[in-house]
Amino acid sequence: MSDNRNYVYLLRCADSTLYCGWTTDLEKRLKIHNSGRGAKYTRSRLPVQLVYHEEYEDRHEALSREWHIKRMSRAEKEALILYRKEDR
């Protein structure tokens, strides 16, 4: 088993839209997004804030989950974020 972690994350952009992605390093990826070198979508919507993430040991599982989250409605994504905040 690998020590590598894979993360699926949701960012809230400055215009309140949500962006979903995956990475192996959340902190580094967030810095890249906020520096304007991240995804094309987030470059014009800075700053972005990490509002949700899930951790996986397997890259394939993370990519599959990202695919599913990207197909959720905004309301479903907001519910996911809210549920995670209440879970803490």
User: What Rg, from alpha-carbon coordinates, does the chain have?
Assistant: 13
Domains and CATH numbers, the chain: 6-87 (3.40.1440.10)
Contacts of range 38-45, beta carbons closer than 8 Å, 24 or more positions apart: 42/11, 42/13, 45/13, 45/14, 45/15, 45/17, 45/19
Q: What is the pLDDT along the chain (88 residues), one digit of tens a residue?
A: 446 899 999 999 999 999 999 999 999 999 999 999 999 999 999 999 999 999 999 999 999 999 999 999 999 999 999 987 666 5
Q: Is 6 within 8 Å of 59 (Cβ atoms)?
A: yes
CA 56 to chain centre: 13
Q: Is 47 within 8 Å of 14 (Cβ atoms)?
A: yes
